[in-house]
Amino acid sequence: MKSVVKNTPLQALDDMLTVSNITKLYGDFAANKNIDFNILPGEIHALLGENGAGKSTLVKMLYGSLQPSSGQILWKGEPVSINSPSFARKLGIGMVFQHFSLFDALNVSENIALSLSPDLTIAEVAAKAKELSTHYGLPLNPDALIGDLSVGERQRVEIVRCLMQDPELIILDEPTSVLTPQEAEKLFKTLDILKAEGRSILFISHRLDEVRRLCDRATILRFGEVSGACDPSKETSASIARMMVGNDVNIIKKGASVSSDDVLLEASQLSQPAITPFAIELNNINFKVHSGEILGIAGVAGNGQSELFDVISGEIIADKDDNIKIRGKDVGGLSINKRRKLGASFVPEERLGHGAISQFHLSDNMLLARHQSDVVAFQRMGRIGVVWREMVEKATKRVCEIMDVRKADIDPIAASLSGGNLQKFIIGRELDRQPSVLVINQPSWGVDAGAALHIRQSIVNLAKSGSAILVISQDLDEIFELSDRITVMFDGKLSEPLDTSKTNREEIGLLMAGVGINEGKHAA
């Protein structure tokens, strides 16, 4: 069926799904306002927008997790009230979330069975899952333990679990964010098969090149409203980004490398046993990061990146003091606060619960992260523990302004921010310290183009000032955009570093799949 670009649904009877004048209010705040768009049978439709633009709210209403304040949803021309995810699935709407909901201790069939009728036996589920995985090019072993699977394989489980419910509309939230380029190509082939069968796909992604390649139409949200619609294949990534943010999105201004011989962060013969049954053992990790340098660590999630971050940051103590050095000092046995006092900052992958406490206000999260390490900035504390609130609040306000953190209140709780805005706050909180060493895990995970640019430029600017920066990321675009040198982590091992200007995505993608990873090399 030929797609026609339109903002307002005109032929609801021909649509798979129609959204008409949908509004979602939280008090006086409109997360979505008068949203109109439609999805046709057999099309891949992109839903685009900055973090906080209203995408998550809209999708939650389509999947029954939220109810609209006003407006109407039509399914195949008939008005419906989608009051729960289970009702959405009965209608024929399935969703694959960005963050997986799988139990590591269960096998593939058992995880899939949890979302299906209890009348089906595990053997029946396994047989059907095997059939679907073969048909759609998503190879799976129904008996495999989830904890033993790669991230790409786990995503296949999520997709097959969704397909087991025979959906006519599939919502995919950032489906390629955890995949190697080779795995993404396989996913695109699966989407082509689904489209050819007449199934519709609502595709949410910040990777605009993928949107241009895959999607028949796109609806763009800005500040909770539809700001435009287009045929992505007839647009450039820059023109789509312009519709998303309302102005031109500039490129990173990196400039010439200012790396020196001064090593500010070093890991030497760092090995670490797995501390849980599903953790990855680190095997003889070696690297150096110089003043003014950004070293990027690429890799598919689940290959030891989280374990490496934990031991570098001091959340897990290394076996030997000299396994890790910060500014020439042995820190392997020091706590995270003592490492921060040496001028190091750390940004973890998980925003809520790790980077910030969800029900604490931003100012309280600022205080928790800095009260021990920033003696000068937060030295004004009363003898009975009364915090000098003005200084904390000024720092919070300064970070929010510099990082363009969009929020409904002056000092909201962390959980009320969109993922991208919370990420900007957490990164800004650490950059505000002007650290000499920054270790950051997934800088722009799930963040829109404008916010990602802001974050990445801030990281580049810090490196220009002479700081040493270690970036861990699954996003190859990000790795190539930021890094002076790139190394790859696979199965707890680190590859030899490559000069960014002398390598390419294909070479790094092969290393991410484990091809050519040599144990024990020194990433100097």
CA 521 to chain centre: 29
Q: Tokens for 294?
A: 């950004």
Contacts 24+ apart (CB under 8 A), 116-123: 116/164, 116/165
Q: What is the pLDDT of residue 399?
A: 94
In a domain, 15, yes or no: no
Q: Are residues 171 and 96 in the same domain?
A: yes
| pLDDT in the model for residue 376 | 44
CA distance 443 to 272: 24
* 155 and 233 inside one domain: yes
Q: How far apart are CA 452 and CA 198, in angstroms?
A: 34
Strand boundaries in 399-518, DSSP class E: 437-441, 468-472, 485-490, 493-494, 498-499
Exposure string (b/e) for 131-153, b if CB count within 10 Å is 16 or more? ebbeebebebbbeebbbebbbbb
Query: pLDDT tens for residues 452-480?
Result: 888 999 999 999 999 999 999 988 888 99
Q: What CATH number does residue 198 fall under?
A: 3.40.50.300
pLDDT of residue 9: 42
What is the domain count for the chain?
3
Q: What is the DSSP letter of 302?
A: T
Domain shared by 275 and 180, yes or no: no
Nearest to 240 by CA among 218, 264, 267, 262: 218
Residue 7 lies in a domain: no
Domain match, 193 and 120 both: yes
- Final residue before a domain boundary, out of 217, 245, 273: 245
Residue 353 lies in a domain: no
Helix (H) / strand (E) element for 225: namely strand 225-230
Amino acid at 195: K
Q: Is residue 393 part of a domain?
A: yes
Please state, as a whole number, how many other Cβ atoms lie within 10 Å of the Cβ of residue 8: 12
Cα-flanking dihedrals φ and ψ of residue 330, to 5°?
-65, 120
Same domain, 393 and 453: no
Chosen domain end from 406, 434, 462: 434
pTM of the model: 0.71
**Which residues, in sequence order, are CB contacts of 197 under 8 Å at separation 6+?**
42
Is residue 315 located within the same domain as residue 277? yes
Q: What are phi and psi of 100, to 5 degrees?
A: -70, 150
Q: How far is 44 from 77, CA to CA, in rounded Å?
A: 19
- Residue 237 domain-assigned? yes
So what's the pLDDT on residue 387?
54
Q: Collect all residues with Cβ–Cβ distance below 8 Å to 332 and sequence separation of at least 6.
A: 270, 317, 318, 319, 320, 321, 322, 323, 324
The DSSP code sequence of 112-176 is HHTTS-TTS-HHHHHHHHHHHHHHTT----TTSBGGGS-HHHHHHHHHHHHHTT--SEEEEESTT
Q: How do residues 200-242 score in pLDDT, each as one tens digit?
A: 999 998 888 899 999 999 999 998 999 999 999 999 988 888 8
User: What pLDDT score does 519 carry?
Assistant: 46
Please indicate, yes or no, if residue 14 is contained in any of the structural domains. no
Domain shared by 97 and 220, yes or no: yes
Examine residue 477 and state whether it is found in any structural domain, yes or no: yes
Note whether 127 and 229 are same-domain residues.
yes
Question: Which run of H or E residues covers position 29?
Answer: strand 29-39
Give a three-class secondary structure readout of 340-409: HHCCEEEECCCCECCCECCCCEHHHHHHHHHCCCCCCCCCCECCCCCECHHHHHHHHHHHHHHCCCCCCC
pLDDT (0 to 100) of residue 175: 86
Q: Identify which of 441, 437, 464 has the alpha carbon closest to the alpha carbon of residue 341.
A: 437
With vertex at residue 445, the alpha carbon angle to CA 202 and CA 409, rounded to the nearest 5 degrees, is 90
Distance between CA atoms of 58 and 41, rounded to whole angstroms?
20
CA distance 273 to 520: 16
Domain that holds residue 318: 260-343+435-524
Share of the chain above pLDDT 90, in %: 59
| Domain endpoint, select from 434, 459, 491 | 434
Q: Are 218 and 230 within 8 A, CB to CB?
A: yes
d(Cα 263, Cα 289) in Å, to the nearest integer?
6
> Domain check: are 444 and 423 in the same one?
no
Task: Provide the token pair at 12.
Answer: 């609801």
Q: What is the pLDDT along the chain (524 residues), one digit of tens a residue?
A: 333 344 444 445 589 999 999 999 988 889 999 999 999 999 999 999 887 788 989 999 999 999 999 999 999 999 999 999 999 999 999 999 877 788 888 999 999 999 888 888 999 999 999 999 999 988 889 999 988 887 778 888 999 999 999 999 999 988 887 677 777 888 899 999 999 999 999 999 888 889 999 999 999 999 899 999 999 999 998 888 888 877 766 667 776 656 678 999 999 999 999 887 778 899 999 999 999 999 999 988 778 998 999 999 999 999 999 999 999 999 999 999 999 999 999 999 888 888 899 899 999 999 888 766 654 444 444 443 455 677 888 899 999 999 988 888 899 999 888 777 888 999 999 999 899 999 999 898 767 777 788 899 999 999 999 999 999 998 888 899 999 999 999 999 999 999 999 999 889 988 988 887 754 444 45
Cα separation, 268 vs 523, in Å, equals 9
Percent of the chain with pLDDT over 70: 90
Mean of the per-residue pLDDT values of the chain: 87
Q: Are residues 367 and 381 in the same domain?
A: yes
Alpha-carbon distance of 441 to 281, in angstroms, equals: 18
In a domain? residue 10: no
Give yes or no: residues 106 and 203 share one domain. Answer: yes
Do residues 265 and 292 touch, judged by C-beta distance below 8 A?
A: no
Residue 380 shares a structural domain with residue 516 = no
